[in-house]
């Protein structure tokens, strides 16, 4: 004899039971986050920890088995993480979103990426130029900044403004979106004056001042010969100075001996190098 199908009422009661359990666990999580906030405050630990957050999503992805797409799970967890982060220290985010018809798509995309990552509770401050965004960040009117994806060979790219040896200067700490599918879409970068440890980076961004006659092919060949995996290489030049932005796989500090080997391969010293930060590798959902 077949078992009777459950009634709609009984199924909804099960949903209510599960919702209550989720709510109880979220409240329990809030208590632990309060304790984490007190520990961070005493030790000067950054509020947002991209490597830790990436590890959470990767762990959940590995254990996920459901008809519910993991992209939805990732969005839920981003909202949870953001909400609990604001419990520790309320903060705002400066976003580059120019209000012009030409840039309207970029404005909406960058704004949406920032909102998806930082959640509904975090105030977003819109600015017309990257310089305004970075000024807001350096003057501590916002804890984080979101700037659009780096355009190839931009004449005056925003990353050039990060090329300084000031230890308190803004640095790249995360790349958006944190999960990627098969289709390519808009990207953006999160910057902060609180820098994660270089050894936690899975992508390293280094700006290099170069002699004006250094070619892209020659520089790439020098990277490869030194054992550096360079994913992206952008050039910009202004006022007689050429600068390259190299994105490397892994943690590459400025004192990495491979960088010294690059200079040797070029047979000329690299004028100046600046570490612009980095981020975890985005989670590929396939």
Residue 7, token pair as written in the block: 């009634």
Please check whether residues 94 and 143 belong to one and the same domain: yes
The verdict on residue 53 lying in a domain is yes
Q: Residue 283 domain-assigned? A: no
- Please tell me whether the peptide bond between 124 and the residue prior to it is cis, using omega within 30 degrees of 0: no
Whether residue 75 is found in the same domain as residue 113: no
Mean pLDDT taken over the chain: 87
Question: Are 144 and 173 in a shared domain?
Answer: yes
CB-side neighbour CA atoms (13 Å) of 144: 29
The arithmetic mean of pLDDT across residues 202-227, rounded, is 88
Residue 154 and residue 209 in one domain = no
Pick from 57, 86, 115: which residue ends a domain? Answer: 86
Looking at the structure, tell me whether residues 186 and 213 fall in a common domain. no
For residue 150, being part of any structural domain is answered with yes
Q: What domain count does the chain have? A: 3
Q: Which residue has the higher pLDDT, 106 or 26?
A: 26
pLDDT band at 133 (very low <50, low <70, confident <90, very high): very high
What are the tens digits of pLDDT across the range 160-196?
Answer: 999 998 999 999 999 999 998 766 788 999 999 988 8
137 assigned to some structural domain:
yes
| Of 60, 49, 30, nearest in space to 283 by CA | 60
Of 197, 222, 256, the residue that ends a domain is 197
74 and 106 together in one domain: no
pLDDT per position as a tens digit, 42-72: 655 566 788 889 999 999 999 999 999 999 9
Which of 41-55, 151-165, 270-284 is the most confident on average? 270-284
Q: In which domain, by residue range, is 63 found?
A: 8-86
């Amino acid at each position: 004899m077949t078992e009777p199908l459950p009634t709609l009422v009984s199924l909804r009661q099960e949903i209510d039971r599960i919702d209550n359990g989720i709510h109880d666990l979220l409240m329990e999580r809030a208590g632990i986050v309060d304790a984490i906030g007190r520990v961070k405050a005493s030790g000067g630990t950054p509020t947002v920890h991209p490597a830790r957050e990436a590890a959470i999503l990767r762990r959940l992805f590995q254990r996920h088995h459901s008809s519910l797409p993991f992209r939805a799970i990732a969005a839920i967890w981003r909202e949870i993480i953001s909400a609990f982060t604001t419990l520790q220290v309320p903060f705002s985010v400066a976003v580059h979103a120019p209000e012009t018809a030409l840039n309207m798509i970029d404005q909406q995309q960058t704004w949406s990426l920032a909102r998806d990552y930082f959640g509904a509770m975090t105030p977003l401050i819109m600015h017309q130029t990257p310089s305004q965004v970075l000024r807001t960040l350096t003057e501590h009117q916002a804890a984080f900044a979101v700037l659009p994806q780096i355009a190839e060979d931009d004449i005056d790219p925003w990353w050039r403004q990060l090329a300084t040896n000031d230890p308190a200067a803004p640095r790249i700490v995360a790349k958006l979106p944190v999960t990627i599918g098969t289709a390519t879409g808009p990207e953006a970068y999160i910057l902060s004056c609180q820098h994660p440890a270089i050894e936690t980076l899975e992508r390293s961004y280094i700006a290099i001042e170069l002699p004006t006659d250094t070619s892209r092919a020659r520089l790439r060949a020098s990277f490869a010969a030194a054992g550096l995996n360079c994913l992206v290489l952008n050039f910009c030049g202004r006022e007689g100075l050429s600068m390259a932005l190299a994105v490397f796989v892994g943690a590459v500090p400025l004192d990495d001996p491979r960088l010294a080997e690059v200079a040797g391969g070029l047979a000329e010293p690299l004028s100046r190098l600046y570490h612009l930060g980095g981020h975890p590798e985005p989670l590929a959902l396939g």
